[in-house]
Amino acid sequence: MSELSDAKIFGGIGAVLSTFGTFIPQAGFVVSIVGFILEAVAIYKISRVLNDEAVFKNYLISIVLAIVGIFVAVLLGITTIITSVVTRRFFSVILSIMVVLLILCIILTISAVFLKKSFDIIAKKLNISMFSTAALLNLIGAATVIIIIGIIIVFVANIIKIVAFFNLPETVPPPPPPLPPSSM
């Protein structure tokens, strides 16, 4: 099997698991993590086939930022709630949660920019525009996650990403022929 065939399988299955794994009772978190790992392996394989380190590097930065952002948001959220309950400043809980969501939104948007860089390279070099579309929708969704609609947009982006992975070719397509010189 070729590296791109492996990437197609790993990426497609990984994207399905990471997108829908959270809906599985009790095992959803683990299934989603397995999905993210399979996706990362697929992106690594694509990066190697394309001989472009930026593909995997940008993807990795995106994942690390997303994990750090979620971790920081959860930590700040818990700390804020505990502090507000102890000091009996319940109004500050609402304000603090809004600040935490804003911080999360900013970090996820920066993460989405790196994902877009990675997916745009894949889209261009493998001629699969769905990667760019998924990345753009993910960026829009991350920027609007604070107003809830972003969650739906990110979900749609993930569906498109699944289709994009399953549309990976078996081999890297040849570059388009050069345009003939103009006679002006």
Tokens of 14: 């990984």
Half-sphere CA count of 162, side-chain side, radius 13 A: 15
Tell whether 179 is covered by a domain: no
* pLDDT at residue 1 greater than cutoff 70: no
Task: Please indicate, yes or no, if residue 69 is contained in any of the structural domains.
Answer: yes
- List the domain range (segments joined by +) for residue 100: 3-166
When divided into structural domains, the chain yields a total of 1
Residue 183 lies in a domain: no
What is the pTM assigned to this prediction? 0.87
d(CA 62, CA 110): 8
pLDDT tens for 80-133 read 778 777 777 767 777 777 888 888 899 999 999 999 999 999 999 999 999 999
Do the domain assignments include residue 57? yes
In a domain, 19, yes or no: yes
Sign of the Cα torsion 80, 86, 92, 94 reads: positive
User: Which residues, at least 6 apart from 102, have a Cβ–Cβ distance to it below 8 Å?
Assistant: 146
Pick 89 or 76 by higher pLDDT. 76
Domain contains 181:
no
What pLDDT, on the 0 to 100 scale, is given for residue 23? 85
